[in-house]
Chain A
Amino acid sequence: MASLRKLLAGATFAAGVAAAALAPVVAPRTALAADDTIKVGILHSLSGTMAISETTLKDVMLMLIEDQNKKGGLLGKKLEAVVVDPASDWPLFAEKARELISVDKVAAVFGCWTSVSRKSVLPVFEELNSILFYPVQYEGEESSRNVFYTGAAPNQQAIPAVDYLAKEEGVKRWVLAGTDYVYPRTTNKILEAYLKSKGVKDEDILINYTPFGHSDWQGIVSQIKKFGTAGKKTAVISTINGDANVPFYKELGNQGIKATDIPVIAFSVGEEELAGMDTKPLLGHLAAWNYFESVKSPANKAFIDRWHAYTKNAKRTTNDPMEAHVIGFNMWIKAVEKAGTTDPSKVIDAMIGVAVPNLSGGIATMMPNHHITKPVLIGEIENNGQFNIVSQTPGTIVAQEWSPYLEGSRDLIADWRAPMSCGNYNVKLGKCGGASK
């Protein structure tokens, strides 16, 4: 009897665990089935490692869709959000994307954060001919007919940041520190080539990679400190991603490296990440983005007010990828109205040339390479966890999806207008198909 009870309890529990483990997979469907709506897919992780960054993007998309419906929807129909949770699991991104497109028949998908998740869904979007809006700064070296990249390419973030440090801070020695995956590796390759083209010598560049979630920075920070004692102004270009940043900055603070000695400029640290940190020791360290919450513009003020009202939380921060989604969503609305249909092929053609206001008082235009024009802002971290904008490009910058500083990518361009209609046209060989001969 006792053993039977034990067995039963065990079995019930095992079932419970299985259900719990599957819970993120069986995602909440906020949508109601209806034919007179236009469905919009939201593909952001709500559980797992990336939930920290991506949950906010899901919220901002829901807000944008709600607001559009208040304005009367699109083409006389209401918009309907279909939220799925790929649970920070890269292959699951592809499965969920396929489900959104073929089962839910969404008109467009807004989603992904990491490059690996984008690479995982790319073939699905190309095969089923749908549209993905990708809102995060990334390493470039890609242009797909079915993807619109509303985040920054390296020349819209990394290179202006290096220029700022060289010019304003007189930096002559560079530490390129990053997390070990595709975005930092590619960005650092581009930056290394760029610095060398500016006459920086090999011994003045230190490249360092750490695993995801690295938490013991003592050795590396003291290595950086030592690297900074060669009598030349030294700076750190950080492509350290996600959770590893908090212990990194804590160690910097504890070892007494101040921004006035060795400034750190980060490409993946925004308001959201600072919210979980004690910012006192970080005073003066920098970040380069295309948007900061502290941007002074009427559009930004209206957006922040609406965001606080929508989330019922006056402390929720806004950040760069959120702005990218705002721009991407407004562009999609305009393109659908222009095309008069949500048919992906027609919308994709209508997207090029669409221009909408960004939140920093300028205009974002969708270029033929499926990337948008962006201003570049450099901010210094302040005591209150916000950024003090110390530099802003006068106009907007066009993305170089194929970096001129990389062998193999130098000769490529992307132009999705007819007759070229190619994402990797080789101008030397005069044909579509990338660098290979």
Chain B
Amino acid sequence: MLRAALLLLLVLFGPLAARAEDAPANPGWSLLSGSYDDLRHGVEELATSGAPNVATALDALMAGQLVVDGDSHLFIQADDGSLVDAITGAPVGGDAVDADTLRPIRVNNAVRRAIEAALGNLRLFSTDPAIRRAAADAVFKARDAAALPALDRAIAQEKDSSIRTALQQARAAAILAGNAPEADRLAAVATIAARGDIDARSVLASLGDQPATVATAAATALTSLDRIAQLWGVLQSVYYGVSLGSVLLLAAAGLAITFGVMGVINMAHGEMVMLGAYTTYVVQQFFRDHAPALFGLSLPIAVPLAFIVAGAVGIAIERGLIRFLYGRPLETLLATWGLSLILQQFVRTIFGPSNREVGTPDWMSGAFQLGGLTITWNRLIIILFAIVVLAALMAVLRFTALGLQMRAVTQNRRMAASMGIRTPWIDALTFGLGSGVAGIAGVALSQIDNVSPNLGQGYIIDSFMVVVFGGVGNLWGTVLGALTLGVVNKFLEPIAGAVLGKIAVLVLLILFIQRRPRGMFPLRGRAVES
């Protein structure tokens, strides 16, 4: 073990130590302050030069922190402004450099690609397994025959079997890029086919100009990969459908209360969602200004606040407007539509017409692979969130005194009143609950959509569709309605395109409502008939 570590050290630092004294002479450094083409060549040159500090400097270059002064000296500038000499790695005093002449070195996509490949090569021997794995993937994508010697050394040392597999796949990609004998190439095709992901497909698809046997092997592998991908594609569509369904469900859950339970056609429902999203924005602004380190907590804190804000506005709307219009659906529709315009313009006046930036915390960014599925964290968390919100809503309706009174009032108002329930008060609270849930939906939607005054408009039609389709007054109906619409939409989208798909869903829905006017799960009983 000790010997292995020593060997590793030797391999790592041996070449570096030998060249350390002549490092500043490497021509690669001077190319970094030139044109984009020079820059790219410089990066490639440095990557294989073995000069020290290259990885740090390239990292800084990628992050826009590599700066150059008037005399073409390279420095790494940290966020706090302190400087480090990029070539020697020595800290530089603030007054040693004329800060006015410093300019950051800009990179374009071609340079970025070169840096990614170079960093991949440099990091194959990192002590951190995660970095080695990422490096192996970068080298795989780069497909550079020049990386072969380094890959061979890395494979020989690698203890972690999964990283070794990744390295062997990278080696296979590099072999196919060079001029190896046919037998090696065929073996490489097999290795890559075994990898089986989307990057492997890219490599296999690019092998058309290889010798005939290799090209045929690649084509065969490609066909079988595509067949598997097709199966995963169906699952992926289901997942996307469930994900869209969860968003629809969140948007419609509040409406299922206000429209479904109370029968109020609330056209300002979307604006409650928007208020929730803006609450998230305000909370995040607060965190940005006062506690940037706790930014990841901004969303959990925004959820109850959005509920309170939207709920309070909902209660105010019910008390100030809707209670005068019970039993007059057409007037309610017009009045709440006008109200939605007022709320939009109100928000536009306060926050301005442009989109507000709501950040995504790190724990909601990125994606992971599950077999052939790509699952993005933000969508997965929204699906889970929708389940939690729905469960909470059902618990409130079922197990709390408020829920009992709500159900009593909606089922038989006069009887409930004579039992001593203050029905107007319950109406207000019910409407507030529905609006508050819409506000919570706004927190989730702020992660996937624009936070602008128009946010709500995009969801109002969909929300009504879900509630009507599922069956008015039935939460389970809303759930199934949302999921069905989501999945149908996602299966139609690749066939018919997003525009036609949406139209097709609407037509199907209309036909369905024609046959079953009360939706999938109609409420039965005397209360409904009356």
If the complex has contacts A211-B502, A243-B454, are A21 and B341 also in contact, measured as CB distance less than 8 A?
A: yes
Instruction: Give Cα A214 to B494, complex, Å.
Output: 15
Instruction: Give Cα A222 to B493, complex, Å.
Output: 12
CB of B64 within 8 A of CB of A382, answer yes
B322-341 interface bits toward A, Cβ cutoff 8 Å, 1 = contact, 0 = none: 00110000010011011101
Decide yes or no whether B236 CB sits under 8 A from chain A: yes
Which segment of B80-88, B202-210, B384-392 sits at the interface? B202-210
If the complex has contacts A10-B324, A250-B360, A254-B367, are A215 and B449 also in contact, measured as CB distance less than 8 A?
A: yes
Hey, which chain B residues are within 8 Å of A46, CB to CB? Answer: 353
Hey, which chain B residues are within 8 Å of A14, CB to CB? Answer: 331, 334-335
Hey, which chain B residues are within 8 Å of A230, CB to CB? Answer: 202, 205
Which segment of B102-110, B122-130, B159-167, B424-432 sits at the interface? B102-110
Decide yes or no whether A362 CB sits under 8 A from chain B: no
If the complex has contacts A231-B208, A254-B376, A276-B451, are A9 and B324 also in contact, measured as CB distance less than 8 A?
A: yes
Closest to A215 in B: B449
Nearest-Cβ distance from residue A172 to partner chain B, whole angstroms:
11
Which segment of B24-32, B237-245, B299-307, B415-423 sits at the interface? B237-245
Hey, which chain A residues are within 8 Å of B356, CB to CB? Answer: 276
Q: Enumerate A115-163 residues with CB–CB distance to B below 8 Å.
A: none
Decide yes or no whether A253 CB sits under 8 A from chain B: yes
Decide yes or no whether A420 CB sits under 8 A from chain B: no
Decide yes or no whether A168 CB sits under 8 A from chain B: yes
If the complex has contacts A169-B109, A276-B357, are A211 and B198 also in contact, measured as CB distance less than 8 A?
A: no
CB of A168 within 8 A of CB of B341, answer no
Hey, which chain B residues are within 8 Å of A250, CB to CB? Answer: 360, 378, 448
Judged by DSSP, the binding face of B is helix
Nearest-Cβ distance from residue A51 to partner chain B, whole angstroms:
4
Instruction: Give Cα A243 to B109, complex, Å.
Output: 26
Decide yes or no whether B365 CB sits under 8 A from chain A: yes
Closest to A6 in B: B324
Hey, which chain B residues are within 8 Å of A17, CB to CB? Answer: 334-335, 337-339, 342
B189-225 interface bits toward A, Cβ cutoff 8 Å, 1 = contact, 0 = none: 0000000001101111111100000000000000000
Which segment of A255-263, A323-331, A332-340 sits at the interface? A255-263
CB of B207 within 8 A of CB of A231, answer yes
Hey, which chain B residues are within 8 Å of A390, CB to CB? Answer: 36, 108
Q: Which of the residues A225, A277, A283 comes within 8 Å of B357, measured between beta carbons?
A: A277
B367-383 interface bits toward A, Cβ cutoff 8 Å, 1 = contact, 0 = none: 10000001011110000
CB of A284 within 8 A of CB of B338, answer no
Decide yes or no whether B525 CB sits under 8 A from chain A: no
Instruction: Give Cα A380 to B106, complex, Å.
Output: 10
If the complex has contacts A13-B335, A14-B331, are A222 and B205 also in contact, measured as CB distance less than 8 A?
A: no
CB of B494 within 8 A of CB of A231, answer no
CB of A388 within 8 A of CB of B108, answer yes
CB of B354 within 8 A of CB of A275, answer yes
Decide yes or no whether A345 CB sits under 8 A from chain B: no
Hey, which chain A residues are within 8 Å of B240, CB to CB? Answer: 216, 218-219, 222
Hey, which chain A residues are within 8 Å of B379, CB to CB? Answer: 218, 254
Decide yes or no whether A375 CB sits under 8 A from chain B: no
Q: Which of the residues A225, A260, A281 comes within 8 Å of B109, measured between beta carbons?
A: A260
Decide yes or no whether A209 CB sits under 8 A from chain B: yes
Nearest-Cβ distance from residue B376 to partner chain A, whole angstroms:
4
CB of B499 within 8 A of CB of A210, answer yes
CB of B106 within 8 A of CB of A218, answer no
Nearest-Cβ distance from residue B503 to partner chain A, whole angstroms:
9
Decide yes or no whether A247 CB sits under 8 A from chain B: yes
CB of B206 within 8 A of CB of A278, answer no
Hey, which chain B residues are within 8 Å of A20, CB to CB? Answer: 338, 341-342, 345
If the complex has contacts A14-B335, A52-B452, A390-B36, are A225 and B198 also in contact, measured as CB distance less than 8 A?
A: yes
Hey, which chain A residues are within 8 Å of B318, CB to CB? Answer: none
Hey, which chain B residues are within 8 Å of A229, CB to CB? Answer: 198-199, 201-202, 205
Decide yes or no whether B498 CB sits under 8 A from chain A: yes
Decide yes or no whether A49 CB sits under 8 A from chain B: yes
Hey, which chain A residues are within 8 Å of B348, CB to CB? Answer: 47, 51
Decide yes or no whether A409 CB sits under 8 A from chain B: no
CB of A254 within 8 A of CB of B378, answer yes
A1-20 interface bits toward B, Cβ cutoff 8 Å, 1 = contact, 0 = none: 00000100110011011101
A273-288 interface bits toward B, Cβ cutoff 8 Å, 1 = contact, 0 = none: 1011110010110000
Decide yes or no whether B58 CB sits under 8 A from chain A: no
Decide yes or no whether B112 CB sits under 8 A from chain A: yes
Decide yes or no whether B497 CB sits under 8 A from chain A: yes
Instruction: Give Cα A24 to B348, complex, Å.
Output: 12
Decide yes or no whether B518 CB sits under 8 A from chain A: no
Nearest-Cβ distance from residue A313 to partner chain B, whole angstroms:
10
Q: Which of the residues A23, A208, A247 comes within 8 Å of B450, measured between beta carbons?
A: A247
Interface centre among B109, B199, B237, B366 (most CB of A within 10 A): B109
Decide yes or no whether B400 CB sits under 8 A from chain A: no
Decide yes or no whether B522 CB sits under 8 A from chain A: no
Hey, which chain A residues are within 8 Å of B141, CB to CB? Answer: 261
CB of B355 within 8 A of CB of A276, answer yes
Hey, which chain A residues are within 8 Å of B324, CB to CB? Answer: 6, 9-10, 13
Nearest-Cβ distance from residue A137 to partner chain B, whole angstroms:
19
Closest to B448 in A: A247
Decide yes or no whether A410 CB sits under 8 A from chain B: no
CB of A218 within 8 A of CB of B498, answer no
Decide yes or no whether A383 CB sits under 8 A from chain B: yes
Q: Which of the residues A215, A228, A272 comes within 8 Å of B202, measured between beta carbons?
A: A228
Instruction: Give Cα A6 to B331, complex, Å.
Output: 13
Hey, which chain A residues are within 8 Å of B359, CB to CB? Answer: 278
Hey, which chain A residues are within 8 Å of B454, CB to CB? Answer: 48-49, 52, 213, 243
Closest to B335 in A: A17
If the complex has contacts A220-B493, A243-B450, are A383 and B109 also in contact, measured as CB distance less than 8 A?
A: no
Decide yes or no whether B490 CB sits under 8 A from chain A: yes
CB of A232 within 8 A of CB of B374, answer no
Hey, which chain B residues are within 8 Å of A49, CB to CB? Answer: 454
CB of A284 within 8 A of CB of B108, answer yes
Decide yes or no whether A341 CB sits under 8 A from chain B: no
Decide yes or no whether A223 CB sits under 8 A from chain B: yes
7 nearest A-B residue pairs (beta carbon): A276-B355, A231-B206, A17-B338, A231-B205, A51-B353, A254-B376, A229-B201
Query: Which of B's residues lie within 8 Å of A, judged by CB?
Result: 36, 64, 106, 108-110, 112-113, 116, 141, 198-199, 201-208, 229, 236-237, 240, 243-244, 247, 321, 324-325, 331, 334-335, 337-339, 341-342, 344-345, 348, 353-357, 359-360, 365-367, 374, 376-379, 448-454, 457-458, 490, 493-494, 497-499, 502
> Known contacts A17-B334, A276-B452; can you find 11 more A-B pairs with CB under 8 A?
A17-B338, A18-B338, A168-B108, A213-B458, A216-B448, A218-B490, A225-B374, A226-B198, A243-B458, A260-B112, A261-B141
24 A-B pairs with CB atoms under 8 Å apart are: A10-B325, A20-B345, A21-B337, A24-B345, A51-B348, A55-B353, A208-B498, A211-B502, A218-B243, A218-B379, A219-B237, A222-B374, A223-B494, A229-B201, A229-B205, A243-B355, A247-B450, A255-B376, A272-B354, A276-B355, A276-B356, A276-B451, A382-B106, A383-B64
